[in-house]
Amino acid sequence: MKIDAQFKIEAIDNHSPHLETVRKLWRANSKTLGNLPKGAFEERAACRQILVALDSEGVCVGYLLYRHSRDWFTITHLCIDPSCRGKGVAKQLVDHLKQITKSSRGIKLKCRRDYNLQGMWSSFGFIATCHVEAKAKNKKLTVWVLEHNPLPLLSTMIKQQLESKLCVMIAPDIFLDLYLDENNKNINSDEENILLADWVQSELDLCINDEIFNQINRIDNSHERDRQNYFAQSFTRLPGDVLRLDDNLNILQKITKKNNFVIDEDKLRYIARSIASESHVFLSRDKQFLDLADIIYGNFKLSVIQPEELINRLDELRDKPDYQPVRFSGTHLEQIQVKRGQEDFLANYFHNYKLKENKTAFQQELRRYLAEHDKFESILVRESNNVPLALIVYGKQKNQELEIPIIRVGNHNLSSTLARHILFKSILKSARDQRYFTRITDKYPEETIIEAIQEDVFVKVNNGWLKANLSVTQSCVELSNNLTNLATEFGEEYNFIKEIAKNLNKESIVLDAQLSVDIERFLFPAKITDSELTTFIIPIQPRWASYLFDEHLGKQMLALPGFGSKPELAFNREAVYYRAIQNSRGLNAPCRILWYVSETQSEGKGKGFQDVGYIGACSYVDEVVIGKSKELYRRFQRLGVYNETNVDSIRKDKNGDIMAIRFSGTELFKNSVSFQEVQQALNKDNLLLVSPYKINNESFIKLYNLGNG
């Protein structure tokens, strides 16, 4: 490990004697650094946004010029005197900038790809995020980012998601194996990577860290680079403390040197980022990683194992999938009000003996709720043969929040999915009753319920879990003020929403569509009216609407009291819709969808639906994937509803590809918005809805409010 010479790093002002040296260094390297307007150096120096490196004799041998915009700092120039290159001057300048900016979101820069500085920026801890066109003809700029502080809300969401599934960090070799399998048209089911199996994905959250994008960035072929970048977006990306990253890397370098291990520097950085994340398991078949397994575990408690070893440990969990709507075919379920006299019967199914809950006390509690039916609503979900599947009690005493003192799903093959469905419906119920919060106070929650609570980002409070759910359409500023007022009105326990309120005041929320989605999900069903999140009206045949989300249409096919048409529909939190690529109008994730149930009923079982031609629901698009019908069907088969023939019948483009839209968080409107109302809202007399139709925020809010008014 090379020890760099130490240079003094300091910020200069516009009166500094070093400013002229900075200009000379720039002029000597202006071909690569580019031009700056007259007076730019003086202006930056006056803002103390030029750092200089001074050698032992006080001579300026390099400089870093940067600017500050909103929550980010941007490096404009990094220039080192040729006589001092390779001595660590650039790293010391960048490290100083890291230190003085660590309370910000982070640091960004753009660098010409053909300058071949990928290794340098990677070693400084930056991540290659994307490529944009340079001013020079046929040249690309790589956008590099070093993120200090993800938004607190997003960190909380990731943390709670990781508590509900086993999170495993996959090494670059596993990532590449999965990528090749995903794109192998000739692979059969026997050869499919075990990590892609539905039951495995229901137990594991396969994660990557940002270092994978630097490895992808080394690929010269731009088409292949883009494909791998796109594939990487399908994995959970775990953040890590940048300062811990540097410490971990230093320790790893010392360990490998001391033990004479040979390992590539980029692999060390990947493992260092993995250690800095919240993962405790690291999957790899790479001998360089596996040889370090004992040392890494001894120093960092990160288990480095092969996928096959992990799968063998998970095999016993096969019968507890988190999400398998395909299993529900042929199941008849119903929702009923619990009646007096059923307490003893229900206690046999739902008292939590594992947590040593007293059965008699549970019976007494349930009797109390049934007796006070003006304050509590007790609901049972059961199969048609009267076998109980889930029990939920709503407490309606408080105007501002819906309380759930009992929520149980028992132990059966639908438990996990029922838990998620019931929570989703409860949040919507709370919001539609004009309550601001949902509070779960069950003292003996099952493990399945806790997992679902964490995935829905409830906040742990003294007597249970609390979640905000605002039925509002407001701008960032309005929503921020609303949250602040609610926290002030209801007290300290509600202060978690103040953090969201602070984030909403940042301009980055308005400009970043994904951040807007994350905050809307956290406050679901709230909608931000001034974000950059786009909305499309997408036409869908009644047949598929009835299967995917529309309970009203579903009842025209098969009546299931309280739960709509089919079990697949009844519990769907996530689904996929296939369509032709043509005329997709730039549809991409993240965005919103308003589903227009069209009059088209030309496909066999799709015929015969009544009262169609309306917008009936709103969803979030999580992913848009282009590919061959067989590949897409295999990828999304776990979501049920479609069979392979359905998918294969979709019109293909010249490359034989179709589009899959994975969506979630579907909110069925209280009121259908008719075609005539859509025309009026959009001020379009000749409106034609035969393909995705992009609308602005104002139109979205009009239509959304019509649906929920």
- Last residue of one domain, picked from the residues 263, 290, 317: 317
Q: Helix crossing, 242-258 with 265-276: angle to 10°?
A: 130
Q: Looking at beta carbons, which pairs linking 652-655 to residues 24 or more positions away fall under 8 Å?
A: 652/580, 653/580, 653/581, 653/582
Domain-embedded: residue 101: yes
Residues near 428 by beta carbon (within 8 Å), at least 6 away in sequence? 469, 525, 667
Residues near 203 by beta carbon (within 8 Å), at least 6 away in sequence? 165, 166, 314, 317, 320, 321, 322
**Domain containing residue 667:** 535-708
CB 617 within 8 A of CB 550: yes
Domain-embedded: residue 281: yes
Helix (H) or strand (E) holding 679: helix 675-682
What is the structure's pLDDT at 132? 77
What is the structure's pLDDT at 607? 53
Q: Would residue 608 be called left, alpha or beta, if left means φ above 0 and alpha means ψ between -120 and 50 degrees?
A: left
Domain-embedded: residue 156: no
Question: What CATH number did the domain enclosing 673 receive?
Answer: 2.30.130.30
How many structural domains does the chain have? 4
- C-alpha distances (whole Å) from 184 to each of 193, 227, 661 are 11, 13, 21
- Give the whole-angstrom CA distance, residue 391 versus residue 366: 10
Domain-embedded: residue 154: no
- Give the whole-angstrom CA distance, residue 7 versus residue 349: 71
What is the structure's pLDDT at 23? 94
Question: What CATH number did the domain enclosing 199 receive?
Answer: 3.40.50.1010
246 and 135 co-located in one domain: no
405 and 446 co-located in one domain: yes
78 and 208 co-located in one domain: no
CB 449 within 8 A of CB 419: yes
- Last residue of one domain, picked from the residues 115, 147, 179: 147
Residue segments in the chain with a per-residue pLDDT below the cut of 70:
1-4, 151-166, 185-192, 198-199, 201-203, 278, 301, 313-332, 550-572, 600-609, 638, 640
What is the structure's pLDDT at 369? 84
> Token digits for 685?
């007399």
The total of other beta-carbon atoms located within 10 Å of residue 182's CB is 18
- Give the whole-angstrom CA distance, residue 269 versus residue 156: 25
557 and 676 co-located in one domain: yes
CB 407 within 8 A of CB 449: yes
519 and 579 co-located in one domain: no
357 and 493 co-located in one domain: yes
- Give the whole-angstrom CA distance, residue 282 versus residue 274: 8
Tell me which amino acid residue 279 is: S
613 and 641 co-located in one domain: yes
495 and 356 co-located in one domain: yes
Domain-embedded: residue 158: no
Q: Would residue 51 be called left, alpha or beta, if left means φ above 0 and alpha means ψ between -120 and 50 degrees?
A: beta
CB 208 within 8 A of CB 172: no
Pairing mode of beta strands 459-461, 591-597: unpaired
570 and 629 co-located in one domain: yes
Dihedral, CA of residue 337, residue 342, residue 343 and residue 345, to nearest 10: -120
Residues near 56 by beta carbon (within 8 Å), at least 6 away in sequence? none
- Last residue of one domain, picked from the residues 117, 147, 177: 147
Domain-embedded: residue 541: yes
- Give the whole-angstrom CA distance, residue 311 versus residue 130: 34
313 and 351 co-located in one domain: no
- Give the whole-angstrom CA distance, residue 457 versus residue 518: 11
50 and 178 co-located in one domain: no
Tell me which amino acid residue 8 is: K
- Give the whole-angstrom CA distance, residue 536 versus residue 593: 5
> Token digits for 37?
């307007």
Domain-embedded: residue 370: yes
State pTM to two decimals.
0.58
- Give the whole-angstrom CA distance, residue 272 versus residue 210: 11
- Give the whole-angstrom CA distance, residue 65 versus residue 78: 7
CB 46 within 8 A of CB 14: yes
Domain-embedded: residue 160: no
384 and 424 co-located in one domain: yes
Question: What CATH number did the domain enclosing 434 receive?
Answer: 3.40.630.30
